[in-house]
Structure 1
Amino acid sequence: MNATVNILLFKSKTLADGSHPLMIRICKDNKKKYKSLGVSIQPQFWDFEKNKPRRNCPNKDAIQTLISAKLNEYTEQIIVYKSTDKNFTVASLADKIDSSQQATTVNELFKLSIDRLKIARRTGYALSVQQVYNSLLEYNQHLDIYFTDIDVVWLKQYELYLRSKELSDNTIAIRFRTLRAIYNIAVEEKIVKPEYYPFKNYKVSKLSRETPKRSITKSDVEAILSYRTEHEYTIFAIDLFLFTYLMGGINFVDIAYLTRDNIIDDRLIYSRRKTSKLIKLPLQDKAIELIDKYRQFDNPYLFPIFSKFHKTDQQKANRVHKVITKVNKYLKAVGEELGLPIDLTTYVARHTYATVLKRSGVNTSIISESLGHSSEKVTQIYLDSFENSQIDEAMKNLL
């Protein structure tokens, strides 16, 4: 059944001044839906046979212009649905028109979300969202679209575009998880109705591929510790790798922000910047030696990653990116010289921390074998739930 849209004066409802609301009526598949135009008219000024204002109706021209504009809006949307062979109901048509009248576009919500993350000092995640925003702009040319425009077909086309750029499966999965997160915000803030949510049918999980293991053996760690060089930055890179390994697989960005205030009663206590989980770990003797080695009187940070010149969150984020890139470059060179089976990075230290404990017989309830994104929060929850003595005993297996 074809959809029809017409205007009528809704006699079933009479307002206090005796006027009736002007309504648009949508009919399709024996269903009807009425939407108010926000205007009411006295019955003597309406031609009920021709469904239009009479000549003597106050503001006749303005009312007729409003009616024509609204009818055109609905008619054009019906044509779009038909031309794309997309089915719709009277409710979905009305919702589509309503949603298109909202001020919040995909472009606006992305920018707002990035600003919110910066205010919350989640600079790293803000950069990730910015990267996806730039990717979407490149793909679609503009983002002055509404979330109802992002359907399964649109997502599949975006996936094909990313694959044409020869991006890895996991990189594509990260882009889609970020886009899905922004869409979830749109649903939560009632920018778009839940029934338009495209990720019920488009499964982001299918994009991910199992990440190869990123851990090495305890003997490999010992080989790294025995590595000798006069190159100052290579030594620094190895020391950061060791500190990560000894101190619970601490993330590089968390190392960068450590200050003297994070050392309390021979324990390292800090909140993870990514998950906000409070971490309390015993300071290993070798870790204390590394802290003492890099301690600077005029710098509150434990390691020389930040200085007094790095004041803003953006400056610090840029500095972290620059240093970790350089550190991983030298670690990779060390790993290649030692003949290690995988590229050596600070992240390998995180995985190796967990793997060595697991292979040493430590209960998986205390530390998970993997410290990837999918299990990192679970790992932190487990660590938080045990007494310090249990963690202290477990970490004796590291060296």
Structure 2
Amino acid sequence: MKATVSVICYKHKVLANGESPLMVRIAKDGKRTMKSLGLSVNPTHWDFAKNQPKGNCPNRNLIKQVILKTEIEYQSKVLNKEIKNEEFTTSSLVEEKQNEIKAQTVEEFYLHLIEELRQKGQIGNSYAYLNSYNTLKNFNKGKKLNYTFSHIDVSFCRKYEDWMRSKGNQDTTLSYQFRTLRATFNKAIEAKIVSRDKNPFNEYKLSHFNTKTMKRALSKEDILKIINTDCSSKSKLRQLAHDLFSFSYLCGGISFVDIANLTLRNIVEGRLIYQRQKTHGNINLLLSDEALKIIQKYNKYCQQAGYLFPILHNQRHITPMQKSNRIHKICHQVNTELRTFATELGITAEVTTYVARHSFATILKKSGVNIGIISEALGHQDIKTTQIYLSRFDNEQVDEAMKNLL
């Protein structure tokens, strides 16, 4: 039996305001399911024979518009089910409608997405989408993004690009912002907030951005200048910055966030074994004597706080948000100190914790180490990040390659 959709005034129920609710009614196979539209009308203003508001009904045009929109939405769902030959009941159709994400505007969808990521503990991702949201809001002159995703077309993208360039942003920043916007648009498509044929990125290609950046790697001479400097008489922050930079370089270019999360469980028989926070790839590297000395320096802190380095504390930083905020704060302090340190040493290149990772890979490459082994040590899931991925290598090959660092 074909399903029928109609909106009725349910006169058998009287609300506190003396009116009766308007409800969508779906009937199929002798069964029916109703759902309130959140609107009500006085039964005296409803023509039950024609099933529509009378001419003297207040807000008659608005009510008729809501009725028409509701009937079209549900009739469209019924038609889609029939075309795909999908089984459904009146209740499943209503529940399907109720379970849809309510966010219809770009504003609502972004805020819903950001909160969802935070609830899942994906703090880094939530910050990326928050940054995208704030940038779009600035482009909108500080106003809320109270427009639908269909408003984001090719013309919008070009204007957005021109605006960001006028603010002095380079292609790398533009590429980052548009990749996040594109990801958000794709999520909106998946949530059936906007149709797939409205996607502007089918025409507006992000490949036109020049994302090639200046080389960030230091020379081996500069790296050794940093590592071999005695900072024992300097401030605690200088010592920490020196130790973290050195440890990262000596341990396969380990990232700051991965260093922050290291505990004694990651040290197994003189090897550093951990899972990357970003890609969840497994890393297994031999710890050099120099790296072990750095770890031993912070033994007392580790016993008190549960982490190898004085970044996180297991009694103070418990939730994903607390950990993320703490790591971001300390990383900023360390990078600021590293820049000052580099200037004092006469190093003109930019020096940050990330530079240690980049330098590790570049120096090994210049030493003739196979790029596949470098990729293995870095923990890249896709060799495209370091070029063509050849094959996986055993620990002995990686260990041998690491001897080229000093």
TM-score range normalised by the length of the shorter chain = 0.7 to 0.9
* Distance in 2 separating the partners of 1:235 and 1:263: 22
* 3-state SS of paired residue (2:304): coil
Matched, 1:219 2:221: yes
Choose which of 277, 296, 308 in structure 2 pairs with 1:302: 308
Identity value in percent: 43
Report the count of equivalent residues.
330
* Structure 2 counterpart of 1:315, one-letter code: Q
> Any idea what the Cα deviations from partners look like across 1:74-100, whole Å, max 9, x if unmatched?
xxxxxxxxxxxxxxxxxxxxxxxxxxx
* Distance in 1 separating the partners of 2:288 and 2:189: 47
* 3-state SS of paired residue (1:209): coil
Q: 1:384 to 1:185 in 2, by over 3 A?
A: farther
* Distance in 2 separating the partners of 1:370 and 1:281: 7
* Distance in 2 separating the partners of 1:378 and 1:286: 28
Q: Mean alpha-carbon deviation: is it higher for 381-390 or for 231-240? A: 381-390
Shift of 1:242: 0.7
Matched, 1:116 2:116: yes
Q: Mean alpha-carbon deviation: is it higher for 265-274 or for 162-171? A: 162-171
Shift of 1:352: 0.6
Residue 209 of structure 2 is matched in structure 1 by 207
Q: 1:127 to 1:364 in 2, by over 3 A?
A: same
> Any idea what the Cα deviations from partners look like across 1:236-270, whole Å, max 9, x if unmatched?
21111110001111110110111111112222111
Matched, 1:359 2:405: no
Q: 1:15 to 1:129 in 2, by over 3 A?
A: closer
> Any idea what the Cα deviations from partners look like across 1:357-396, whole Å, max 9, x if unmatched?
1111101122259989997874599598221121111111
Shift of 1:192: 2.1
Residue 58 of structure 1 is matched in structure 2 by 50
Check the 8 A contact 1:355/1:370 in 2, yes or no: no
Residue 240 of structure 2 is matched in structure 1 by 236
Matched, 1:348 2:350: no
* Distance in 2 separating the partners of 1:371 and 1:213: 18
Q: 1:383 to 1:312 in 2, by over 3 A?
A: farther
Residue 286 of structure 2 is matched in structure 1 by 282
> Any idea what the Cα deviations from partners look like across 1:128-152, whole Å, max 9, x if unmatched?
2111112222222212322211111
Residue 134 of structure 2 is matched in structure 1 by 134
Residue 103 of structure 2 is matched in structure 1 by 104
Q: 1:372 to 1:314 in 2, by over 3 A?
A: same
Check the 8 A contact 2:281/2:381 in 1, yes or no: no
* Structure 1 counterpart of 2:234, one-letter code: H
Shift of 1:338: 2.3
* Structure 2 counterpart of 1:121, one-letter code: G
Q: How does 1:251-266 map to 2 (within 5 A)?
A: 251-266=255-270
Choose which of 170, 173, 176 in structure 1 pairs with 2:172: 170
Check the 8 A contact 2:285/2:377 in 1, yes or no: no
Q: Mean alpha-carbon deviation: is it higher for 243-252 or for 219-228? A: 219-228
Residue 31 of structure 1 is matched in structure 2 by none
Matched, 1:247 2:251: yes
* 3-state SS of paired residue (1:306): coil
Q: 1:172 to 1:372 in 2, by over 3 A?
A: farther
* Distance in 2 separating the partners of 1:332 and 1:58: 77
* 3-state SS of paired residue (1:366): helix
* 3-state SS of paired residue (2:372): coil
* 3-state SS of paired residue (1:279): strand
Check the 8 A contact 1:354/1:369 in 2, yes or no: no
* Structure 2 counterpart of 1:228, one-letter code: D
* Structure 2 counterpart of 1:352, one-letter code: S
Residue 312 of structure 1 is matched in structure 2 by 319
* Distance in 2 separating the partners of 1:211 and 1:346: 17
Check the 8 A contact 2:103/2:112 in 1, yes or no: no
Matched, 1:330 2:329: no
> Any idea what the Cα deviations from partners look like across 1:154-191, whole Å, max 9, x if unmatched?
11122222223222321222111111111111223333
Q: 1:288 to 1:392 in 2, by over 3 A?
A: same
Choose which of 34, 55, 69 in structure 1 pairs with 2:65: 69
Moved over 6 A (4+): 19-22, 37-40, 70-73, 369-377
* Distance in 1 separating the partners of 2:379 and 2:68: 52
* Distance in 2 separating the partners of 1:368 and 1:398: 15
Residue 143 of structure 1 is matched in structure 2 by 145
* Distance in 2 separating the partners of 1:323 and 1:231: 18
> Any idea what the Cα deviations from partners look like across 1:98-125, whole Å, max 9, x if unmatched?
xxx9833222322232233223322122
Shift of 1:333: 1.5
Check the 8 A contact 1:336/1:343 in 2, yes or no: no
Q: 1:283 to 1:120 in 2, by over 3 A?
A: farther
* Distance in 2 separating the partners of 1:107 and 1:396: 52
* Distance in 1 separating the partners of 2:340 and 2:390: 33
Q: TM-score, normalised by structure 1?
A: 0.73
Q: Mean alpha-carbon deviation: is it higher for 64-73 or for 150-159? A: 64-73
* Structure 1 counterpart of 2:102, one-letter code: A
Q: 1:267 to 1:391 in 2, by over 3 A?
A: same
Q: Mean alpha-carbon deviation: is it higher for 287-296 or for 57-66? A: 57-66
* Distance in 1 separating the partners of 2:263 and 2:252: 17
Q: Mean alpha-carbon deviation: is it higher for 139-148 or for 252-261? A: 139-148
Q: Mean alpha-carbon deviation: is it higher for 373-382 or for 213-222? A: 373-382
* Distance in 2 separating the partners of 1:21 and 1:115: 36
Q: TM-score, normalised by structure 2?
A: 0.72
Q: Mean alpha-carbon deviation: is it higher for 247-256 or for 266-275? A: 266-275
Residue 9 of structure 1 is matched in structure 2 by none
